[in-house]
Structure 1
Amino acid sequence: MSFDAQKLFELLPAIHRIRDAELAKSLGLERGPLEELVAVLAEQIDVAEESLDQLYDDLFVETCADWIVPYIGDLIGYHSLHNVVAKVASPRAEVAHTIALRRRKGTALVLEQLARDVTAWDARVVEYFQRINTTQYMNHIRPHNLQSPDLRKSEALEWIGTGFETANRTINVRRVESLGRHNIPNIGLHLWRIKAYPRSQTPAYRAGPHRYFINPLGYDAPLYNHPQAEDDISHLAEPDNVPLPLSRRRMHRYLERYVAQRPSVGEPLDNPTPSVVLRVDGVMIERDKIRVCNLSDEGATWANMPPSSGNYAIDPALGRVALPADVNDPTDVRLTWYEGFSTDVGGGEYERGESLPTPLEGTQLVRVPDDHSTLAAALLDISGDGVIEITDNSRYSESLEINVVANGHVEIRAMNNRRPVLELAGMIIRGDSNSSCTLNGLLMSGAPMVIPDELGNALSQLHILHTTLVPGIALNANGSPQHSGEASIESALTGLKIQITRSIIGAVRTHARSQVDAEDSFIDANMPENVAFAAADGEASGAELSLVACTVVGKVHASEFSLVSNSILFSALASGDSWISPVRVVRKQAGCVRFSWLPFNSIVPARYRCQPDSLQAAQSIVPHFTSLHYGTAAYGQLSSSTADQIVRGADDESEMGAFHHLYASQRETNLHIRLAEYLRVGMSAGIFLRIVREYRL
């Protein structure tokens, strides 16, 4: 029953209410003392009623408060994992599944669900005893158990070496912990560290007549499928349930899985969660007009260009689209597709609402393209103090000059779950005294960001968060940087403080009497021998530098390290290099370097538990990356061959570098702990972190 003050007061005898009203009138009060008392009682009854409702909710693991979950788990004998990190995965799902998992204890289905619950990564379990070559028993012939794969089945050949392989192998007697696989007691848990991020209605990049790159930066990038959630524990993961690059053959054969179509006008799509949606001039191209083919380079054009037949060609392996010859060109070509990446860094269609506070009262908010079609016009409108919010994923090709008034703040940001592309001809930021500028959620290419040392420029702070300043300024069609090693940020201003959070940027050039603080970010000069951080000339010392859980690719020369923690400074000297050390600071008596990897011959303050810790260890303890090529799905990701001193070398035993916040080592440790409870006697389980393969069949 719900109580409010008025209902409760009306339950009192009328004589008391009349006298209370007379007393209120005589005292000049809006309400009498009795009514005030009843209002207090009603408020406390509401509190008690809410508490009773919460007590009822706390009886169920789906609705209970977070602190109740361990107590419900204790009732069914669930034991919490060691070193559980709340940001990785809540134990709520695992507690909810515990009884169902125990009923199927030891089966592949349980192990797969367990891996998903504990690590929050997509998983596939393989019982390798089923994939061993065996002599056939004539009374029990198994036609699928072949000694060699059928070379006519291209789909099965595509999965060789993956968790979906159906080919049989000769026995491998190594333990699965030593990467042995095909043996009777071995079970493999294949985990995907890559996620498929949506890119909604992004503008394609025109490569030539009727030819478009799907990626708005204009380079070849494979399309990923949209992983479908599994509704039933009795179902082992299939390729459509995990994030994988789309091959040409697979997309062609199962086109209805990845591309939608309307049965008739006005009806909903027959596939509500397509992986690819093509729109030309705002009109969605139906599935029956799409052909999947190889659009590789062929001289000055592409192979297999569609004729004037109304068909549109898509190459998912290269990420290309070709229009029929009879379609007007250039035209507005947009696609919804999925891109592979490891985590929420550099901007994208992921949740970042915490970084988008409501503008303060009196602050002007201008939306693009709703209020203005260009950013330059929006900057004129706010007159050096306000917020510009981009509400779509379009490309904005402009030259920007940001001038912030005294005590003002200019913020250019993408709306939550958006990532617009800024194709810049130039970008200059200036400000009067006590002024600041923020860039949030943007993908920027084409030109560096310049903060000039001009008379009157007194910009005090620049904040870059959830933003990508393409390393190498822009990318070629093959994905290589156009200007390898060139700076993304050029600041000649003294006293400026630059904050970089959850971002990917190229090299940085700053004045020695300024400050740069970076967290959970990449500073990438494209090669370890290039200069990642220094003064404007690329030789002298740059600003005071702080790195917390960052990956730096390239040489570093800073005036001071205020703090370097849980980071990787992947630097090297080139042959005949004029630098005396790949990483050096001027003031070695100040600052702190802790729990990080940097070259052993670096000239830095005293190290604390850094790697390598000796000249001998420097030969073996080196970070190995799956990819250091920006634009690839596994960019910046440490490979499984990296030494444990790096993979578990941070101050909380997570990995060093920009992906520290993923707590990958804790996820693996927790899974090993839980496997000991659910594995059958005599069985052994190995964890295989899947490396991205770009299928082009």
Structure 2
Amino acid sequence: MTADRLYELLPAVHRRRDAEAGEPLRALLAVVQEQADLVEADIEQLYADWFVETCRDWVVPYLGDLVGYRVLPGSGEALAAGTEAGRRLLDAVAGRRDVAHTVGHRRRKGTLALLEELAKDVAGWPARAVEFRTLLGVTQSVRLHGRDPRADRRRLTRGRTADLRHTDALDRLDGPFDALAHTVDVRRLSSARSPRRYNIPAAGLFLWRLKPYPVTRAPAHCDDRARTHFTFSVLGNTAPLIAKPVEEPAPTHIADETNVPAFIRRLAFAERTAQYYGPGKSLCVYVGGEPVPLQRIVPADLTHWRYHPKNDQVAIDPVLGRIAFPVRHAPAKGVWVDYHYGFSDDTGGGEYLRPLSVKRPSAFYTVGTAKGNDCHEIGAALRRWRTDKENDPKKREAVIEITDAGDYHEKLVIELDHGDRLTVRAAQGKRPVVRVLDRYSNRADSLEVTGPQRAKDCEAKPRLVLDGLLVAGRGVRVSGEVGQVVMRHCTLVPGWSLDEHCRPEHEEEASVELADTPACLEVERSVLGSIVVDVNEVREEPNPIWLSDSVLDAAGRGLAALSAPDGRPAHATFNARRTTVFGEVLTHAAGLVENSIVDGCLRVERRQHGCVRFCWLGPGSRTPRRFHCLPAEPLPGAPQRVVPRFTSTRYGTPGYAQLAVSCPVEIRRGAEDGSELGAFHDLFQPQREDNLRLRLDEYVPAGCDAGLVIVT
């Protein structure tokens, strides 16, 4: 549609007279056309609202009502909110797929494969349905055996007696893929206090909350003690690999180990190596740019590196994420890997899709080792930008984009001037690693961000954005007159680096240091270590610090996640929304702290201003006025019951910062909208679990005891 669509419908004589008069009629019709376009767009949207695939979010429950869809709790609150958080909650409690498949699900009511479809449509979780009746030990009739074909089929589908020679079946014992016979347990699977699985009417739904995140063509880490020992993780830590789920062949198919994001077992990898290994599959190893052939891959247990492969073999341990080459046959051209790791949400550096600015500034530089990039190093792109902006002031706004998942060993100094707007980001689908290592023996190293020494009143302070990076080896130090430092979807490794057991090697060191700078620090969907604020409290205002949907990890018990260098409260204003903090927070003031967990004391010096609401705070906290915070003050001498429990509190392990299944319900549902507290609030896992239970009650036949079993 053209801008003068209505004006062009007029006869040519009127347009000619209007042009002679200065085109007042054209200006009037342009205003009318704006309203006509709005009405036309609304009419087109009304037609789109008849279909569940294209309708607006608020129409989904109404379309569901036409087919008798049972609206789940929370839809009304989400519609009334009208905010971004309300939209995400509406997607969690009234999914389009659940509404679209309502009629089909009713036709398949009572089938086992339907339970897996419900988990995918309602909760968005991969699942495996198991009928525990078939795993009960039953004495077969000797008379019917060999005479009735149906008896033989029933015998083959039931659980078998444990065979000590069948190690793979023993390895799957009591898991979602267990195939051994069990004795009956009459307690119900859906019991809230003591659930048990193996009963005649029991049907369980095993759920995987962790998502498989890919790492593509990333450099492997070589062990310093042996040139033939490598780890899939570029940080050198051992981490279990997760299978890349394969789509099930038919709707009636029951998921197996290749259809869900399960941890890859050694025996499963040995039996089905071709299903897991190869380009585009769960894992792959490249030497000199070419994948290692499948016939050379040997599954092995590389605990303590005791296994030594032969001269033409490459050993892989999927449980520890390790690779071993033959002795004295170290690859000379480098090792790259593809693999998948498990994490809860799109937080920290990763290859997942993240929002990027569509606007492309005049100063745009690409960094990478492939041909066609502007520079091969980040430092070279910074030097080129500094030269270009001196010649052209329009290039003060620049973007440096890293186009691969390489490991950049550089001494980076980002020098900013007045009016600069610099973004250093990873390309979509890439996770580069910026490793800041020792370059000088007589002074400390870090990723330096320096601003001008004195601010000008006529020009704005510089701004730096780090997006999609993984920074290891050292932290980020900000000094000078910097206005704003933004970290989005970044990982600043807590403790700088990890050992092979995911323990931080420098647990007392800070990931971010604000030194004599008025910079405002904004952290969004990131993982970082402790923050140290070292400013002049007399001359400077408190540094604003904003954290949202992030993890702030002090990397050690009893350490401060936010403080001054000498352990005093930081001269900062602490703000946190949907954040998990491991360690103490010592700050001058607090703004808004909500829906967060501070696994340590939160001590605020200036308590006259600020608000802390819907949070869990460690004992000994001194805060501004609280609203619906946990825990309540216990009786003298009484043990503390409401304490957060996590799957893991060590970065680099699956389930890091994830609330455990055994976490108290007051924390798992302690947010203002009934979701969990902490960094993964927007997953709305309690609402998903409740909705899935309601759907099970609706589609499971009467008399069947259906329940949920959380695997990861």
Q: Is the 8 A contact 1:562 1:590 kept in 2?
A: yes
For residues 614-629 of structure 1, the aligned pairs below 5 Å read 614-616=633-635, 619-629=640-650
Taking the aligned partners of 1:427 and 1:37, their CA distance within structure 2 comes to: 57
Taking the aligned partners of 2:686 and 2:674, their CA distance within structure 1 comes to: 7
1:378 equivalent to 2:381? Answer: yes
Q: Which amino acid aligns with 1:76?
A: V
- Secondary structure in 2 aligned to 1:73? helix
Aligned to 1:450: 477
Taking the aligned partners of 2:571 and 2:28, their CA distance within structure 1 comes to: 67
TM-score for both structures, normalised by structure 1: 0.86
1:690 equivalent to 2:711? Answer: yes
1:524 equivalent to 2:553? Answer: yes
For residues 505-544 of structure 1, the aligned pairs below 5 Å read 505-511=528-534, 513-544=542-573
For residues 48-197 of structure 1, the aligned pairs below 5 Å read 59-84=50-75, 85-88=89-92, 91-138=95-142, 139=144, 140=151, 142-143=155-156, 145=158, 148-176=161-189, 177=191, 178-197=194-213
- Secondary structure in 2 aligned to 1:563? strand
Aligned to 2:147: none
Aligned to 1:243: 261
Q: Structure 1 residues 108, 29: closer, same or farther in 2, change over 3 A?
A: farther
Q: Is the 8 A contact 2:134 2:157 kept in 1?
A: no
TM-score for both structures, normalised by structure 2: 0.84
User: By how many angstroms is 1:377 displaced?
Assistant: 0.9
Query: Deviation digits for residues 363-382 of structure 1, max 9, x if unmatched?
Result: x1111121111111111111
Q: Which amino acid aligns with 1:189?
A: L
User: By how many angstroms is 1:52 displaced?
Assistant: 7.7
- Paired residue for 1:491, among 514, 536, 553? 514
- Secondary structure in 1 aligned to 2:134? helix
- Coordinate RMSD, CA, aligned: 3.1
Deviates more, 1:677-686 or 1:515-524: 677-686
Q: Structure 1 residues 147, 540: closer, same or farther in 2, change over 3 A?
A: same
Q: Structure 1 residues 35, 197: closer, same or farther in 2, change over 3 A?
A: same
Aligned to 1:286: 293
Query: Deviation digits for residues 265-322 of structure 1, max 9, x if unmatched?
Result: xxxxxxx74111222111122222322222332xxxx33333332x322221221223
Q: Structure 1 residues 32, 519: closer, same or farther in 2, change over 3 A?
A: closer
- Paired residue for 1:304, among 275, 298, 307? 307
Q: Structure 1 residues 121, 429: closer, same or farther in 2, change over 3 A?
A: same
1:411 equivalent to 2:423? Answer: yes
For residues 316-331 of structure 1, the aligned pairs below 5 Å read 316-324=318-326, 329-331=331-333
Q: Structure 1 residues 537, 100: closer, same or farther in 2, change over 3 A?
A: same
User: By how many angstroms is 1:496 displaced?
Assistant: 2.1
Say how many residue pairs are matched.
Answer: 649
User: By how many angstroms is 1:69 displaced?
Assistant: 3.2
Q: Which amino acid aligns with 1:560?
A: A
Taking the aligned partners of 2:176 and 2:564, their CA distance within structure 1 comes to: 48
1:437 equivalent to 2:439? Answer: no
Aligned to 1:681: 702
Q: Is the 8 A contact 2:423 2:466 kept in 1?
A: yes
Aligned to 1:263: none
Taking the aligned partners of 1:642 and 1:107, their CA distance within structure 2 comes to: 32
- Paired residue for 1:276, among 261, 265, 283? 283
- Secondary structure in 2 aligned to 1:462? strand
Q: Which amino acid aligns with 1:204?
A: A
Taking the aligned partners of 1:196 and 1:30, their CA distance within structure 2 comes to: 67
Aligned to 2:241: 223
User: By how many angstroms is 1:549 displaced?
Assistant: 1.0
- Secondary structure in 1 aligned to 2:556? coil
Q: Is the 8 A contact 1:23 1:32 kept in 2?
A: no
Aligned to 2:612: 593
Q: Which amino acid aligns with 2:429?
A: N
Aligned to 1:267: none
Taking the aligned partners of 1:496 and 1:239, their CA distance within structure 2 comes to: 49
User: By how many angstroms is 1:57 displaced?
Assistant: 5.3
Q: Structure 1 residues 562, 68: closer, same or farther in 2, change over 3 A?
A: closer
Aligned to 1:269: none
Q: Is the 8 A contact 1:612 1:618 kept in 2?
A: no
User: By how many angstroms is 1:640 displaced?
Assistant: 1.2
- Secondary structure in 2 aligned to 1:670? helix
- Secondary structure in 1 aligned to 2:62? helix
Aligned to 1:576: none
Q: Which amino acid aligns with 2:306?
A: A
Q: Which amino acid aligns with 2:244?
A: H
Query: Unaligned regions of 5+ residues in structure 1, if any?
Result: 261-271, 572-581, 692-697
Aligned to 1:462: 485
1:422 equivalent to 2:434? Answer: yes
Q: Structure 1 residues 92, 555: closer, same or farther in 2, change over 3 A?
A: same
User: By how many angstroms is 1:109 displaced?
Assistant: 1.6
User: By how many angstroms is 1:498 displaced?
Assistant: 0.6
Q: Which amino acid aligns with 1:152?
A: R
- Paired residue for 2:351, among 343, 349, 352? 349
Aligned to 1:577: none
- Paired residue for 2:662, among 635, 641, 645? 641
Percent identical among aligned pairs is 37
- Secondary structure in 1 aligned to 2:511? strand
- Secondary structure in 2 aligned to 1:619? coil
Q: Is the 8 A contact 1:509 1:538 kept in 2?
A: no
Taking the aligned partners of 1:593 and 1:51, their CA distance within structure 2 comes to: 42
Aligned to 2:85: none
Q: Which amino acid aligns with 1:168?
A: A
Taking the aligned partners of 2:26 and 2:588, their CA distance within structure 1 comes to: 69
Q: Which amino acid aligns with 1:598?
A: L
Aligned to 2:367: 368
Query: Deviation digits for residues 45-95 of structure 1, max 9, x if unmatched?
Result: 999998787666555434445444333322221122111423436521112
Q: Which amino acid aligns with 2:69?
A: Y
Taking the aligned partners of 2:488 and 2:3, their CA distance within structure 1 comes to: 46
Deviates more, 1:393-402 or 1:589-598: 589-598
Q: Is the 8 A contact 2:215 2:338 kept in 1?
A: yes
Taking the aligned partners of 1:35 and 1:565, their CA distance within structure 2 comes to: 53
Q: Structure 1 residues 42, 520: closer, same or farther in 2, change over 3 A?
A: closer
Aligned to 2:86: none
Taking the aligned partners of 1:6 and 1:613, their CA distance within structure 2 comes to: 66
Taking the aligned partners of 1:286 and 1:595, their CA distance within structure 2 comes to: 54
Taking the aligned partners of 1:3 and 1:479, their CA distance within structure 2 comes to: 60
Q: Which amino acid aligns with 2:282?
A: S
Deviates more, 1:619-628 or 1:536-545: 536-545
Q: Which amino acid aligns with 2:96?
A: R
- Secondary structure in 1 aligned to 2:412? strand
Q: Is the 8 A contact 1:595 1:608 kept in 2?
A: yes
Deviates more, 1:274-283 or 1:396-405: 274-283
1:632 equivalent to 2:661? Answer: no
Q: Is the 8 A contact 1:492 1:536 kept in 2?
A: no
Q: Is the 8 A contact 2:18 2:25 kept in 1?
A: no
User: By how many angstroms is 1:493 displaced?
Assistant: 2.3
User: By how many angstroms is 1:401 displaced?
Assistant: 0.7
Q: Is the 8 A contact 1:223 1:339 kept in 2?
A: yes
User: By how many angstroms is 1:492 displaced?
Assistant: 2.2
1:606 equivalent to 2:606? Answer: no
Taking the aligned partners of 1:26 and 1:564, their CA distance within structure 2 comes to: 65
Query: Unaligned regions of 5+ residues in structure 2, if any?
Result: 76-88, 145-150, 390-395, 438-445, 456-460
Q: Structure 1 residues 614, 35: closer, same or farther in 2, change over 3 A?
A: closer
Taking the aligned partners of 2:380 and 2:345, their CA distance within structure 1 comes to: 34
Taking the aligned partners of 1:250 and 1:110, their CA distance within structure 2 comes to: 26
Q: Is the 8 A contact 1:89 1:120 kept in 2?
A: no
Taking the aligned partners of 2:578 and 2:56, their CA distance within structure 1 comes to: 32
Q: Which amino acid aligns with 2:609?
A: A
Deviates more, 1:141-150 or 1:339-348: 141-150
Q: Structure 1 residues 23, 5: closer, same or farther in 2, change over 3 A?
A: closer
Deviates more, 1:105-114 or 1:406-415: 105-114
Taking the aligned partners of 2:339 and 2:125, their CA distance within structure 1 comes to: 21
